[in-house]
Structure 1
Amino acid sequence: MSQITLTILETSDVHGCIFPINYGTNELQPLGLSKAAAIIKKIQQENEYIITLDNGDIIQGTPLTYHYVKYLAEESNPMIKVMNYLQYDAATIGNHEFNYGLPVIQGAVNQSGFPWLSANILDKSTGRPYFGKPYLIKEFPNGLKAAILGVTTHYIPNWENPEHIKGLEFQDAFDAARNWVSSIRKYEKPDILIVTYHGGFERNLETGESTEPHTGENQGYRICAEIEGIDVLLTGHQHRQLTGTLNGVLILQPGFNGQFIGKADITLEKSNGKWEIVRKDSELLPVGSEEEDEHVLQLANTYETRTQEWLDQPIGFIEGDMTITDPLEARMEEHPLVEFINKVQMDALGVKISCTALFNNAAKGLPHIVTMRDIVSNYVYPNTLNVIEISGKDMKEALERSASYFQLNDEGEIAVNPAFSKPKPQHYNYDMWEGIEYCINISNDIGSRIENLMFEGMPVDMDETYEVVLNNYRAGGGGEYPMFKNRPITRSSQIDMTELLANYFLKHKTVKATVNHNWKVVK
């Protein structure tokens, strides 16, 4: 009887991180593919039986990837150059792969020396997987046969710019996984079947209790519980750090930005001519203490140099104070940065009402001399803008959704509702509005917190129609804002918000840090 160990390496939600830095400050950070490369190459060299996979959301997320798409798109994609060097066996399509449009993702796929998998993203015209391969078969010495099936959260149409996914159909990820697992088991007869799912878990892994609304965005728990024949489920999307076993399925989720590499070791024994799994182990390998791989740095050096030059270009000035010292305070009382972003949105599309968010707690606001680095470190997503028509009732419901961001702690102080921070930080789902007046009373129950809702000096009419400008993610209902979904779009802009903010500075040169206190949070 012979025994072997198959090692599976997983990265996920790398989001354009090659260099171990924070682009907002250029301070070193324990993350990125240049550090991960040292671990990946070492394990690859030490193991004959190895599979290296990316779970999605890798070509978008840093100024480096943004600058590449906007100014160097005729060159090879830097993320793909690194992935080719690291000899990935396959990658799964993630939702953020679509942020720059189909030509960019198709270019990345074409440049890759490995297949991109997604069994449930279909070409509407043919009904077949759009990116070619739903799964990959990898065969090893001694007849070991591994199947790798890729599926992607089908919730993408709720977030993405429709032009970026034109001609695509997003089949339910659970249904696709169930059908393909059955087919692969029947016709391919692999010794091990791995599903790499760009999605996460909708339930508590220990108790089975639901942890989010039943939208279908994350279906990992159900996949493990209801689909027979899966040996390993690689996950992502939620930016969590997970290892363990669920209903006999080994699970992994290695965080984000290349801070960890997921590693699964599958021990198999051959009995009566057939390989059988006898042990499954998983762990997360931190990259922080690793030295950067010099070849990876060299592959991306030109892109990084150009990006850094672009980031340091001064584009305007702030008169007053637009810096942030306390992100909670900036969400409890109107901050000049938030008012500025809303004003830019209103100016860009000629609308009287706007809403936006402070996307994460790392946002530091804008200093006196503003560079592109300051812009991209505060507005971190490649959003575009839509103007939609909503009713006063829709507006009230959206504000109530935002108002659920707060709760009173045991000391009676205003704090963040854990639903917006666990299992994944979702500070970007708390919106602040301009052009209307309102009060959020935290002492009231969730759903009844909005008071004194006014527009142009009059109470907002629940049956009246209002135009609102907001980013494309929110306009599609993203962040549990169903009241915005499928509402009429009267105008839109295909210019990224970072460019709109930069263009505003280039036009006006100096921007005053102001607030008009049109909303407040009380208890």
Structure 2
Amino acid sequence: MSTFKLVLLETSDIHGNILPLLYGTNKKAELGLAKVATLIKQERKRNEHTITIDNGDLIQGTPLTYHYARFQRSQPNPMVAILNDLHYDAGVFGNHEFNYGLEMLNQAVKESRYPWLSANIVNSKTGEPYFGKPYLVKSFPGGPRIGILGLTTKYIPHWEKEEHIRGLRFEDVIVTAKKWVRFLKEEENVDLVVVSYHGGFERDLDTSEPTETLTGENQGYELCMEVEGIDILLTGHQHRQIAGKTINGVLVVQPGCHGLTLGKVTVEFQKSQNGFHVVKKDSELLSVDGIEPDSSVLASIQSYEDEVQKWLDQLIGKIKGDMTVTDPLEIRLKDSALMEFINKVQMHAAGVHVSNTALFDNHSRGIPVDVTMRNVVANYIYPNTLVVLKVTGQIVKDALERSASYFELSDDGTTVVVSKTFTTPKPQHYNYDMWEGIQYELDIRKPIGERVTRLEYNGAKLLPHQELEVVMNNYRAGGGGNYMMYKDCPVVKDIPIDVSELIANYILEHEIIEATVNHNWKVVY
């Protein structure tokens, strides 16, 4: 009886991070695809039989990928070029793959020397997989047949601009998996079924208790429990680090984000008269801490990097006053010059008097006195555009209540902390909005759903039926972040220019920006 060992390597949610640095500060960091590349090559030297898969959210996320999308499209996509050179076996579509539109995505797919797998993204007219290949079968001489099925969170239409996904339909992950896993087992006669799913888990992996609202955005747990025949589930999207976990016999893995780790699955087979059978499978995450970046990856990216660094260092204006961030929690408790400024830019671009925006993460440092493009993209990190919705006073109140649930009080009632629903399993600081153009107070001593204690417009109480035109980013306007109250609101206008570009243009136009705070809102505790 012979044995066979296979190693599966997974990257996910790289989000354009190649070099081991943070673009906002240009300081070194223990992350990035260049470091991951070193680990991949090491694993291939140690193991004869390997398969390498990227699980999505590859081509968007850093100034380098933004600059490429805006100014360098005539050149090869740098992210795809690196995966080509690393001889990836397959890739899966993440939700952020669609951020720059189908034209750029189709270009990336065309440039790839590996297949992009997508079973549940189908042509809205024919029902056939839109990108061609739902799965890949990988075989080894004298070894087992491995079936790899690609799936993507079906929730994308809730976030993405319609024109970026026109002609596509995102089918249910569970229904799709049942169809194709059975096909792989019965028609392709594979010995191992690997599902690479750009999605995560809405339940605790140990207790099965819900960890977030069960929306269907992250159906990983259901895939393990309801789809017979899956051996290994590669996941992503939530930026969690998961290894060594098994759900209903399915080994699950998730390698975090930004190239912090490489997911590794080791599978051992035995061959008998009836074929190959799995006798052991386990997983681990390989950290890039202390790993030297791969020199060939660094060389391949250098021309792109030179251009983006010149662009980032352009001086575009000055701030009179203080728009920096010293405490990200404090800036979410009361009005600040930074958030007021971004809302002002949005209102200026949209020609309306009410706006909301968010401090996207806790790494934002704000905008210093001498402003460069680096400062802008470090604070506005997503390629969002703007949408103006017609909303009622009741919808505004409902949205504020959703934001107010971001906070909770410590057990002794003296300290404000961030609710675990916004931090676990994935940090969601970007789902707390701050408004300009209305006056409001949130009292977080009160129960969730009853925290809006003041809500006024132009000095008078905002009535439930009263209509306002509000500008917000396209992610929020589509209901992203469980702001479903916006989902059916009439769209007054779209502003199809990236918000970071609007901010930069506003600073260039005005040259000197005065930092102002009108204290139109606060959190009471």
Alignment of 1:332-481 (within 5 A): 332-412=333-413, 413-481=415-483
For residues 92-141 of structure 1, give each alpha carbon's deviation from its aligned partner in whole angstroms, at most 9, with x where no partner exists: 00000000100111111000000001100011122111111000011101
Aligned residue in 1 for 2:48: 48
Aligned residue in 2 for 1:289: 290
Could you tell me how far 1:47 is from its partner in structure 2?
A: 2.3
Alignment of 1:109-124 (within 5 A): 109-124=109-124
For 2:426, the aligned partner's letter is K
Kept after mapping to 1: 8 A contact 2:408/2:419: yes
For residues 184-227 of structure 1, give each alpha carbon's deviation from its aligned partner in whole angstroms, at most 9, with x where no partner exists: 21111101010000000110000000111121000000100111
Distance 2:176 2:467 in 1: 40
Alignment of 1:184-333 (within 5 A): 184-243=184-243, 244-333=245-334
Aligned residue in 2 for 1:176: 176
SS of aligned partner of 1:142: coil
Could you tell me how far 1:333 is from its partner in structure 2?
A: 1.1
SS of aligned partner of 1:483: helix
Aligned residue in 2 for 1:100: 100
SS of aligned partner of 2:119: coil
For 1:384, the aligned partner's letter is T
Distance 1:342 1:411 in 2: 35
Answer with 149-158 or 460-469: which moved more: 460-469
Q: Are positions 1:522 and 2:524 aligned together?
A: yes
- Work out which of the residue numbers 488, 491, 494 in structure 1 matches 2:493: 491
Q: Are positions 1:164 and 2:144 aligned together?
A: no
Distance 1:505 1:223 in 2: 48
For residues 396-422 of structure 1, give each alpha carbon's deviation from its aligned partner in whole angstroms, at most 9, with x where no partner exists: 000000000111102322211111111
Distance 1:215 1:369 in 2: 43
Could you tell me how far 1:288 is from its partner in structure 2?
A: 1.8
Kept after mapping to 1: 8 A contact 2:390/2:469: yes
For residues 22-46 of structure 1, give each alpha carbon's deviation from its aligned partner in whole angstroms, at most 9, with x where no partner exists: 0001110111111111110121233
Distance 1:292 1:460 in 2: 56
**What 5-or-longer segments of structure 1 have no aligned partner?**
none
Distance 1:313 1:143 in 2: 55
State, as a whole percentage, how many aligned pairs show the same letter: 55
Could you tell me how far 1:498 is from its partner in structure 2?
A: 0.6
Q: Are positions 1:10 and 2:34 aligned together?
A: no
For residues 29-87 of structure 1, give each alpha carbon's deviation from its aligned partner in whole angstroms, at most 9, with x where no partner exists: 11111111111012123322210000000000000000001000110000011000111
Q: Are positions 1:130 and 2:126 aligned together?
A: no
Distance 2:46 2:82 in 1: 20
For 2:63, the aligned partner's letter is P
Distance 1:254 1:520 in 2: 38
Aligned residue in 1 for 2:83: 83
Could you tell me how far 1:182 is from its partner in structure 2?
A: 1.3
Could you tell me how far 1:273 is from its partner in structure 2?
A: 4.4
TM-score by length of 1: 0.99
Moved over 2 A (4+): 45-48
Distance 1:166 1:511 in 2: 39
Aligned residue in 2 for 1:32: 32
For residues 344-380 of structure 1, give each alpha carbon's deviation from its aligned partner in whole angstroms, at most 9, with x where no partner exists: 0000010111000000000000000000000000010
Kept after mapping to 1: 8 A contact 2:4/2:143: no
Kept after mapping to 1: 8 A contact 2:158/2:478: yes
SS of aligned partner of 1:444: coil
Distance 1:409 1:397 in 2: 24
Aligned residue in 1 for 2:505: 503
Aligned residue in 1 for 2:150: 150
Distance 2:524 2:47 in 1: 60
Distance 1:240 1:209 in 2: 17
Could you tell me how far 1:464 is from its partner in structure 2?
A: 1.8
Answer with 403-412 or 371-380: which moved more: 403-412
- The number of residue pairs the alignment matches comes to 523
SS of aligned partner of 2:397: helix
